[in-house]
Every structure is written in structure tokens, then in C-alpha cells.
A and B are shown apart, each in its own frame.
Chain A
Amino acid sequence: MTTQALLQVLASGLLMGLLYALIAVGLSLIFGLMDVVNFAHGDFLMVAMYAAFGLWFFTGLDPLLAAPLVTGLLFVLGALAYLGVVRFAMRARSNAGMVQIFATFGLAITIQGLAQFLFTPDYRSIGQSWLGERTINLGGLFLPLPQVYGGVVSVLTFAALYLLMSRTDFGKALEATREDQGAVALVGIDRNRVFALGWGLGAALVGLAGAVLAIFYYVHPQVGGPFSTIAYVVVALGGFGSIFGALVAGVIVGLIEALATTILPPALKSIGIYSLYLAVVFLRPRGLFGRL
């Protein structure tokens, strides 16, 4: 393996990792806010990818321009998922955790089923787009533009998210609700409203990731699967509920995945990530930056 090939693998791993972080952060946010693991997270990603594909296919709108629309659409979907499903699941008197898991799991299967019914299981992908299949060549180091764009979007989003959480009333309300749900009700914050907005925000983030991913990845009803598995690992590794943790863990997972594929036999590609995950579970169960 030459230095150049190694650099290539590291660069690709970094870019992919930033995207994993963007996919995972919504999941982490929702969990941190209300201790609910959203098993439909991957399917939100799938819906976002279909939305980006659909806008491109029917109106010719470039996925770059479609990104805000897709993000907005997913915000609505996330808020509706909370108001229509999760809100009721949270009222369970006993086994609340299980009820929530099954509720979001059911939501996942419903979304997948609907996608298969409405969009057929055919594989779609966006053909011509501004960034699609363009690559920057830095002296033999190939950086695909869609992934560079994804990395930039991811970094900017994390910066915006940091500002949102630390500088705005909405962010403070989220933070306060997560600290003590009872107390916020006393000061007049509507818990349901904060949760709905939190779900909306979480889904919007994965929606943005989907709009980026759709530029270079194929879309079909089950496309969320492999990505959501990685998202769960990223969230657990970074610490449930930690936004910064998701960013760091996403990059770590991307790099380890790329390196493991290069050094180990490719079939053992996932071993690197999961052994790291196991190590974290044993040595630091709350994750790298978790506050549990």
C-alpha cells in the first residue's frame, strides 16, 4: 500500500465519517431530549432521499437547491411522528421503554412498506446534477465533490447546531426540558411543543443528510438499514444525547471503517467499528462524551 493510497483511504474515511455524523446527530438529539431511541431514523433518511430524488426527477431541481425543501419536509414529518405516534407511546403506564421501541419500530416498518408500495422497490438514483460524479484531483488524491460538499455541510450544520443549542431560547428550552421535564412545565414551557420541535429538528437533520447522500447514493425502500446501524453505533460511541460526541464518533467510525477495510481482509470491515464499540461499552459505558 502506497502513501498515496493510504491518504486516499483516510480522506474518503474522513468525508464519509462527517456524513455519518450528520446522519447520526438527529438520533442523538432526540434521545438526549427524551430518552427515546427512534428506530425509524434510517427510514427518515430514506424518505429524505426519495424526496430529493423526486424533486430532481419531476422538476429537475438540483439536489443542492432541494436540500432546504427536503430538510423542511422532514421537519414536518418528524414533528408529525411525535404528535401522531410517539406522544401516545410515551403515555404508557408500564414498560414505557418497550412501548416506545415498538412504536418507532412499527413506524419504521410502516414507512418502509408505504415506500415500497408507492415508489416500487426499484433502485433509483439521481443522474445529472451539479456536483454528481465530479471529482477534485489533488495530485492523485481524488476527492469526490458530492462527498466534499457533504463534509462541509456537516461541519457547518454542527456549528449552527452548537449556536442553536447555546445561544437561542429554543435551544435553552430543549436543554431545560431534557434536564427536568417537570420543572419546565412549572415555568410555562409546553413540554409537548418542545418535544415536537425536537423531533422535527432531529428529522430535519437526517433530512439534510439524505439530500446530500442522494447525490451519490442509490435510493430504494431499504436504503436506511445499513446507515441507521452505523448511526446507532455513532450515537452510542459518542455518548447518547451528545451532539459534539456524534461529530467525533462519526469521524472515528468513518476513519476506522476505511482503515479496517484497507488493512484487514475487507470482509472484516465492520469488525473494526464494532470492536471499538465493544471497548467503549466495557471501558466507558456512557460513551466518549456522554453525560448519563
Chain B
Amino acid sequence: MNRRELLLGGAAALSLAAAPRARAQAAEVPVGLIYPMSGANAQIAADARAAYETAAEVINTAMDLDLPMARSVGIPSLGGARLKLIFADHQADPQKGRSEAERLITQDKVCAIVGAYHSSVATTASVTCERYGVPFIAADSSSPSLHRRKLSYFFRPAAHDEMFSEAMFDFMDAQRKKGVKIETIALFHEDTIFGTDSAATQTKLAQERGYRIAADIKYRANSPSLTAEVQQLKSADADVLMPSSYTTDAILLVKTMAELGYRPRNIIAQAAGFSERALYDAVGDRLGGVITRSSFSIDLAAKRPAVARVNEIYRAKANRDLNDNTAREVMALLVLADAINRAKSTDGAKLREALAATDIPGEQTIMPWSRIRFGADGQNTSADPVLVQYVGGKWVTIFPEAAAIAAPVWPMNG
């Protein structure tokens, strides 16, 4: 037997050994995930991938966690079929989002699409899903206009920006009641649908509740310089600065504020960049006391034990803790798996019915939510947001009081 024969024989033996296992493996359920894998927000997608892989691990293997589909292997009603994650890159471009969604549906035959971070992309991708009768789950796209388009295949387990903004103003109202002076706010938002929707909601709420808007600054995303914008914020010197910014602009904002000698008295952020570790790695020492809205807080582990365990799995993959975005992503896939199990099918219409009938109690989530139950518009109305504050390098839940771990530090001490 020469070397080639030996190799061939070995390969044959190996394939024989592998064969029964391959046959025993149950079918796979392909799920499409659409994220900005390249471009300025590629890190978001890298973290999202780890989050979805974490969720898939919870679903595909048996774990003793009080979460949907955790204790079983795969999807029990489909003979233990495993979720297969198929990622597509939308490059933060709504048109690419549309075409990638179409490709996932027609080529990869995914049963649902989850995405998309950028609300602008969720807008186009969800319309494509609607056309093909495939459910779209907005895991982390929070623009309120998304669920108002009368789409029947659109679902969003997490809160949208209006709910988040309301929580911010509820918090400020509560502070006022305690005798804290808050009269003026400054809005600082980027120029795509996320920033503009967020600012529109905040403007409306400010008018209703009697806060004066001292500055309303819309800036171009990924600007080389924000000096003139920050100068305007500084001139306005509002009681509370409310930014809606992605990571890159958030870093530049904080750096420019430091350079121009502007210390905002308080920051209440619309998450996004302000939930990302990169920002705190870069300029965390200037952000002591910053408050951001969140769908998630790591200190929730005290109340919901699954949080710590899921975070451990995620940490092993991503080398960082779950945050607002990644926690919502994990939860979105769990919600989908739960629906697939009840639908006993991957057919779009049946899956849609099952999703619409979703009813998961808050205890079976890793979120501070009281429930997951979708309204006719596909929005979960019980996704109670929280406000968290960055204190001593850690996130602390400060609002609402029912979920609060500590009292807020006010004014901030960045």
C-alpha cells in the first residue's frame, strides 16, 4: 500500500464513520439575518453575529434556562430541527437591504428575516418580506414609523423610540417632581431615519410636557468634524443634552465637547452609539453619569437568572458583555424559535399566525419587559424600557423605580 492508497483508505474510513451521524442529524431551519457586516458599523454586525450564535446555542442545545426553546434540543415540533443562521451584509444601505432580503428569501429559502440595526434598512427589507409573505422581525431597529405601515408580516418584540423617549421624559418629570430644575433640553441627532424620528418624537414630547428646546441640531452622520455643531450646543448650554447618534459620531461628539471645554450638565441618550463599548473604551472617562435608554441592563441578572448565563455564553464568543443591542438580538431569535415551534412549520403564513399569537411572560425573557405579546401592528406593547446610568465604569438601572437598582447621579459628573 503506497501513500496515496493509504490516504484514500483513510478518507473512506472517515467518511464511513461520519455518515451515520450526518443521517441522524435533523433537518435545518434557515433563518436570515441582515446586518451591516462591512462599513462604518461593521462592529455592530460582528457583535450581532455573536448574539445570534448565542441564541442559536440556547435553542439548538438543551440548557436548563427559563427561556423559550432552551430546555429542548432544536425545534421539538419539527423533530428537533436546528436553526441555521444565514448572514447577509446590507452595508447600511436601504437598497442593498432590499436586494439582500430578496436573495435570502429566494436563494437561501429562509423562513424569516431578523435585522437590521439601521431603521432605514429595516424599512426596505421588511417591505420585501411582506411581498414574499415571510415574517420580518425587527430585533434592534427602533424607529417608530416601522410598525405604522400596516405590514402584516412585521414584528418587533422590543420597544420603539417613542416608548424610549417617553421613558426619558417620564424620568425627567419624576426628577422635576423631586425639585430638580430641568427647563431646557438640546437635541443632537444624525440625519437618517433613526435620528430624525427620534428627534421628532422628542420635540413633540418636549412641547407637551413643557421643556424648552434650546438647540435642535441635525448633523450629517460620519462627519469629519463636529466643531461647529458642538459650539452651538455649548452656546445653548441646555440642562439636558439628548443625543441620537451612532458610535462614530458619538465618539467624535464627546471628544469635540472636551476640546471646546463644554461639559453638559446631563446627557440622556437614545442608546445606539451610547450603548456601545467602543465609545466607553475611547472616552469613557468623560462619560461618568451619562444616562441612556435601554431595553436591557446587565444588573437585571439579580431578578432574572437566565441573564447571567446567557451573558456568559455571549461573553465567551464576543469578549464583552451583552448590551442594549445584543440582548434584543438574542431575544428576537428566541421569539422566532418559539413561534416556529408553535407553527410546527416554516411556512410563511403559518409562521405569521404563530408570531401573532406569541405570548411569552416577562420572566421567560432576558429583558426587563413584562410580556411579549404583539398588537395588530406587530409591535410588542409590553416592552417596558429602562434608563441606565454609567457609574464607576458600570451600567446601573435607575428608572423606572420598579426596576431601579440605585438612585440617579444628577447632575452627571463626566
Contact = CB atoms under 8 A, between A and B. Distances in A.
B331 to A, nearest CB: 24
Interface string A234-276: 0000000000000000000000011101100111011000000
Given A1-B235, A218-B251, A266 B229 contact: yes
Contact of A137 (B219, B220, B261): B261
Nearest to A17: B225
Interface in A98-124: 112, 116, 120-124
Given A12-B225, A217-B252, A226-B223, A262 B42 contact: no
A290 interface: no
Interface stretch (A2-10, A77-85, A154-162, A185-193): A2-10
Nearest to A134: B259
A144 interface: yes
Contacts of B235: 1-2, 5
Interface residues of B, number: 39
- Interface SS of B by simple majority: helix
A200 interface: no
Interface centre among B38, B234, B279 (most CB of A within 10 A): B38
Given A16-B227, A266-B217, A269-B220, A133 B261 contact: no
Contact of A230 (B191, B224, B251, B259): B224
A249 to B, nearest CB: 15
Interface in A39-98: none
Contacts of B222: 225-226
Contacts of A125: 251, 255, 281-283
A149 interface: no
B40 interface: yes
Interface in A145-173: 146-147
B223 A123 contact: no
A226 B221 CA distance: 10
A142 B39 CA distance: 33
Interface in B32-53: 38-43, 45-46
Nearest to B41: A121
Given A8-B260, A123-B247, A144-B259, 19 more contacts: A5-B232, A5-B234, A5-B235, A9-B227, A12-B227, A16-B224, A121-B42, A122-B46, A123-B276, A125-B255, A133-B255, A142-B259, A216-B259, A220-B43, A227-B224, A261-B229, A266-B217, A267-B218, A269-B220
24 contacts: A5-B235, A9-B231, A12-B225, A13-B227, A112-B38, A123-B276, A124-B278, A125-B251, A133-B258, A133-B259, A142-B259, A142-B260, A144-B260, A147-B259, A216-B259, A222-B40, A225-B40, A225-B222, A226-B223, A227-B224, A259-B228, A262-B228, A262-B232, A269-B220
